[in-house]
Amino acid sequence: MTYFIDRRANAKNKSAVNRQRFLDRYRTHIKRSVEEAVNRRSITDMERGEKVSIPTRDISEPVFQHGPGGKRTIVSPGNKEFVEGDRLRRPSGGGGGGGAGEGGASNQGEGMDEFAFTLTREEFLDFVFDGLELPHLERKNLVDLDEVRPVRAGFSRDGVPSRINIVRSMREAHARRIAMRAPIRRALREARQALEEEESKDPVLRNPARIAELKAEIERLEQRLEAVPFIDTYDLRYNNLINQPQPSSKAVMFCVMDVSGSMTQAHKDIAKRFFLLLYLFLERSYEKVELVFVRHHTAAKEVDEEEFFYSRETGGTIVSSALSLVDEIVADRYPPSQWNLYVAQASDGDNWDDDSLTCRDLLVKSLMPRVQYFTYVEITPHAHQALWEEYETVADEFPDQFAMRQIVEAGDIYPVFRELFKRRAVQ
């Protein structure tokens, strides 16, 4: 008796829970590996999983075992030249010939020092962004928001015909008809009664003038009754819509980078990684993230990604050119009421002498009130210059929205990123 069952359509992630348990248990180990990986990885490379290694001794499941020593007899196959009584040197390392034939059993390979496995992309990113939060997302007050969504809110007396609520309108009409017809009906009833009385009298006593009068009255009342409209504009009710402000689910990220002669390719790589982390991070929090690349030397220009990272240009540095371009772009295309604005700027700190003050003004007056968060990373091993100092005053003024850090080498990126976006205690 044999049955064939096609299980291929069944869920394949039977081990998902166990896998998660394992990841949770070795969180700290994995996190360390992930951090190393982020620093080591090439830039285009964030979109895949990661191989993680954990020292085997940390995850071993101990059982009672024989240790080395004592007297053991090992049977092995494949004898070529040995004869009984031969004496051999101990092979260096390993217990010589291996123990009992374990074959397909699930022994975990004693000799391996590292237990290696691969995280999926999602798991990897979860670890990368674990404990980080988007700054000030919640601060964005609903009142400020222009982005609205119409929602139903009761009924109103005016509106467009397409929104007429028929049931409500008919009910109103019905009520009005009852109200308007009641006095007429009463008068009619009285008139008819009077007429009946009059007509039931003895013919001699009848008053023909009165009868004619009553008949006329009845006819007039009947006409009035007829004239009460079945439905009136007054009865109409419309489904009411009001506009409710919505938190925006769109974000735009401005990548601003100095491409002057002083920025080497290594600097740009570092900057790129920083931008990339930020982008991945935003992408996890918003439905839609747009990227705007602004590069500048003495003049700023909006470019595409390719050009942003790889084309070469030289020249002096005027940082304010980039900031004012960002300002313009925001005004043109990204109204702050609809977009969450993030700016990430990378530079080596060089700037035209008196330009730094202009930058400060631009930030304080125009940009900072509008952006969610502004990060500035300075990629330089050298001492800070005027730009850093000016930015420090901005940071003092907007401590929650403005963050700046120095990066010396690629290894600093991730720690700096974590520090910039680490979850703050609820204030």
Partner 1 sequence: MNRRTPIATGSDWNFEVLEAYEQELARLADEYRLDTYPNQIEIITTEQMMDAYASVGMPVGYHHWSYGKQFLAVEQAYRRGQMGLAYELVINSNPCIAYLMEENTLMMQVLVMAHACYGHNSFFKGNYLFRTWTDAGSIVDYLVFARKYVAECEERHGVTAVEQLLDACHALQNYGVDRYKRPSPISAEEEARRQKEREEYLQAQVNTLWRTIPGRHDGDSLPGSLAEEEDPLGLHSGERYPPEPQENLLYFIEKNAPLLAPWQREIVRIVRKLAQYFYPQRQTQVMNEGWASFWHYTLMNRLYDEGLVDEGLMLEFLQSHTAVVSQPGFDSPYYSGINPYALGFAIFSDIKRMCQEPTEEDREWFPDTAGSDWLDTIHFAMKNFKDESFIQQFLSPKVIRDLKLFTVVDDDQEELLEVAAIHDERGYRRVREMLATQYALAVREPNIQVYSADIRGDRSLTLHHIQDNRRPLARSVYPVMRHLHQLWGFPVKLESLHDDGSVARRYHWPLPDEEGDSR
- The CA–CA distances, whole Å, from 182 to 179, 185, 214, 218, 227 equal 6, 5, 19, 15, 13
Closest to partner 1 by CB, 81 vs 306, is 81
CB of 99 to partner 1, least distance (A): 7
Residue 41 CB coordination number (10 Å):
15
Closest to partner 1 by CB, 79 vs 200, is 79
Q: Which residue has the tokens 């374990």?
A: 102
Strands (E) located in 106-249: 114-119, 148-156, 238-245
Closest to partner 1 by CB, 98 vs 229, is 98
Q: Which residue has the tokens 């009910």?
A: 171
Sites for partner 1 among residues 114-133 (CB under 8 A): 115-118
Q: Does 202 bind partner 1 (CB under 8 A)?
A: no
Contact 238, 152 (CB under 8 A): no
Q: Does 8 bind partner 1 (CB under 8 A)?
A: yes
Closest to partner 1 by CB, 62 vs 154, is 62
Closest to partner 1 by CB, 12 vs 149, is 12
| Exposure of 370 in the CB half-sphere (CA atoms within 13 A) | 23
Q: How far is CA 158 from the centre of its chain?
A: 39
Q: Does 108 bind partner 1 (CB under 8 A)?
A: yes
Strands (E) located in 358-401: 373-379
3-class SS of residue 374: strand
CB of 121 to partner 1, least distance (A): 14
Q: Which of 208, 221, 209 is nearest to 180 (CA)?
A: 221
Angle CA(310)–CA(312)–CA(316) in degrees, nearest 5?
A: 130
CB of 46 to partner 1, least distance (A): 20
Q: Does 102 bind partner 1 (CB under 8 A)?
A: yes
Beta bridge partners of residue 156, listed in sequence order: 238
Sites for partner 1 among residues 228-257 (CB under 8 A): none
CB of 131 to partner 1, least distance (A): 20
CB of 89 to partner 1, least distance (A): 6
Contact 198, 272 (CB under 8 A): no
Among 44, 89, 141, 427, binds partner 1 (CB under 8 A): 89
Q: Does 98 bind partner 1 (CB under 8 A)?
A: yes
Q: Does 161 bind partner 1 (CB under 8 A)?
A: no
Among 3, 166, 200, 426, binds partner 1 (CB under 8 A): 3
Q: Does 93 bind partner 1 (CB under 8 A)?
A: no
Among 44, 82, 204, 381, binds partner 1 (CB under 8 A): 82
CB of 85 to partner 1, least distance (A): 7
Size of the site for partner 1 (CB under 8 A): 71
3-class SS of residue 10: coil
Candidates 82-90, 288-296, 299-307, 315-323; binding stretch for partner 1 (CB under 8 A):
82-90
Sites for partner 1 among residues 10-39 (CB under 8 A): 10, 12-15, 17-25
CB of 122 to partner 1, least distance (A): 15
Candidates 5-13, 243-251, 335-343, 370-378; binding stretch for partner 1 (CB under 8 A):
5-13
CB of 125 to partner 1, least distance (A): 18
Q: Does 1 bind partner 1 (CB under 8 A)?
A: yes
Closest to partner 1 by CB, 121 vs 423, is 121
Q: Does 97 bind partner 1 (CB under 8 A)?
A: yes
Backbone angles phi, psi at 271, to 5 degrees: -60, -40
Q: Which of 326, 252, 284 is nearest to 125 (CA)?
A: 284
Tokens of 95: 């217990």
Contact 231, 173 (CB under 8 A): yes
Here's the x/- map for partner 1, 42-81, by CB under 8 A: it reads as: ---------x-------xxxxxxxxxxxxxxxxxxxxxx-
Q: Which residue has the tokens 């080395």?
A: 68
CB of 280 to partner 1, least distance (A): 24
Q: Which residue has the tokens 């309108």?
A: 169
Q: Does 113 bind partner 1 (CB under 8 A)?
A: no
Q: How far is CA 75 from the centre of its chain?
A: 62
Across the beta sheet with 300-303, the strand order is 300-303, 288-296, 250-258, 340-347, 373-379, 402-407
Here's the x/- map for partner 1, 262-281, by CB under 8 A: it reads as: --------------------
Closest to partner 1 by CB, 99 vs 229, is 99
Backbone angles phi, psi at 87, to 5 degrees: -115, 140
Q: Which residue has the tokens 């009845």?
A: 218
